[in-house]
């Protein structure tokens, strides 16, 4: 896969946008998958979720901002 120079799309997400009482934000991720990977760890450590449900995954995907 070849990436263009300069204008790469970046993805951002904040936990608060899916109704969590949490100020956690992910910025500058290069893909939705990367955000989900980061959130997997975050959800486990901070929200004590063993895993992210499909329902939550959909919510997260809808809340991911592309910049
Ligand atoms: Zn959070």
Specify if 1 maps to a domain: no
Contact of 24 with 43, CB cutoff 8 Å: no
pTM of the model: 0.84
CA–centroid distance, 62 to ligand 1, in Å, is 16
Q: How many other C-beta atoms are found inside a 10 Å radius of the C-beta of residue 67?
A: 8
Q: Does the pLDDT at position 1 exceed 60?
A: no
CA–centroid distance, 9 to ligand 1, in Å, is 23
Specify if 5 maps to a domain: no
Q: pLDDT tens digits, residue range 2-46?
A: 565 667 889 999 999 999 999 999 999 999 999 999 999 999 999
Q: How many other C-beta atoms are found inside a 10 Å radius of the C-beta of residue 16?
A: 13
> Would you state the pLDDT for residue 35?
97
Specify if 4 maps to a domain: no
Tell me if residue 4 falls in helix, strand or coil. Answer: coil
Q: How many domains does the chain have?
A: 1
């Amino acid at each position: 896969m070849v990436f263009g120079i300069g204008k790469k799309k970046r993805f951002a997400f904040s936990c608060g946008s899916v109704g969590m009482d949490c100020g956690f934000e992910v910025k500058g991720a290069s893909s939705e998958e990367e955000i989900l990977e980061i959130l997997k760890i975050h959800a486990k450590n901070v929200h004590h979720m063993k895993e992210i449900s499909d329902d939550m995954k959909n919510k997260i995907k809808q809340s991911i901002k592309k910049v």
